[in-house]
Structure 1
Amino acid sequence: MDSWQYIVLVGAVVAVGALAMPRKKAESAEAPQSVRNMETALDQFMENMEKDNEQLIQLIAESQQAAKQEGESKDKRIATLEERCGQLEKLLQETLVKPAAARLREDQPSSGAMTGQADALSAPQAGQSGVVESAAQDQSPKPNSIHDRYSELFRLYAEGKSIEAIAKKLGMNKGEVQLIIGLSKQEGTL
């Protein structure tokens, strides 16, 4: 036999052997199994996600309810504190302001201006703290105000110097100078 005949004969044997092998059937059987495994894994993943979502929703609902209860308890406490504050203001009015007004009347009965001030102190007003403050101001001299503490700053400001120039001259920060001027405006001394 010639060599080409051997080649043809070997090729035919290889072709018949390739057709006869059951490999493709085994691969096709494995493919549906891997698909089933993937579907099972996805189903488990979805179940786990649903459980996690339910737990998260429950946790959020519990935290909202806890926040609502905490808010209600704080509102009740604020109302109680406001009521106590009102009672303390009335007590302060009775113990400090009214006796101070009575002393002013006793000390200066002939002076109409002082009697008017004493009546104004003893008259009930909407802002009890304003009454207490005015009585305290009448009885004691005002402690050194912000204007007294920073007289050089306010002198420069009154001269029309800029905030930057004042800060540079006094060795202060620009924000500090602005804060002092703002506080003075609130205090009413500027």
Structure 2
Amino acid sequence: MNDAWLYVVLLGAAAVVYAFLIPKASASKPSSGSDRVVKEVEQTLEQYMAEMEKENDDLVNLLVQIRQETGAKQLSLQEQLGEMRTRLSEMERTTGKHEAKIEQLSAIEAPLATMRIARDAFVQPAGEPAAIAPAPEPELEAEPEDSVRNRYPQLFELHDQGKSVDAIAKATGLQRGEIQLILRLAKREEA
């Protein structure tokens, strides 16, 4: 059994020695043609590497430029968003003021109407006995032709479908605050 291992080791050592001797024999032979080919290949590879480095530098510069432009556009969009938010808050404040004024005027108009009815009931022409006029029966008013619902049918159709104010704004092209105001006015009209 030991003899088999001895033969394997000797055979491996012979292969290693033979492998070292072969390259030395071929390297010692002069080959001017192959040296020239090697130099040409090296020059070609160097040119290729120089072109690759140049293209890489161009790509890096292009990416830096794109990043700067994107950053500038993003800043611009953020500024516009800030301005729009400011305008929206101003419009909401203005809308709130207008709604408060409408409520005040509505609150004043209701007592005036009842006072007119009472005055008309008790004021009689001269010579006629005073009689209490029957209270006017409430009439079911048909929706006036100039109602908010008739002016914005698409808006109310989307609202009746359960769409959000933002979705309605995108579909109709109206501002969010404007849509909210129209919906509130329609609720008052219906009441």
What TM-score comes out, normalization by structure 1 length? 0.46
Structure scoring higher RCO (CA < 8 A, sep ≥ 6) equals 2
More helix by share: 1
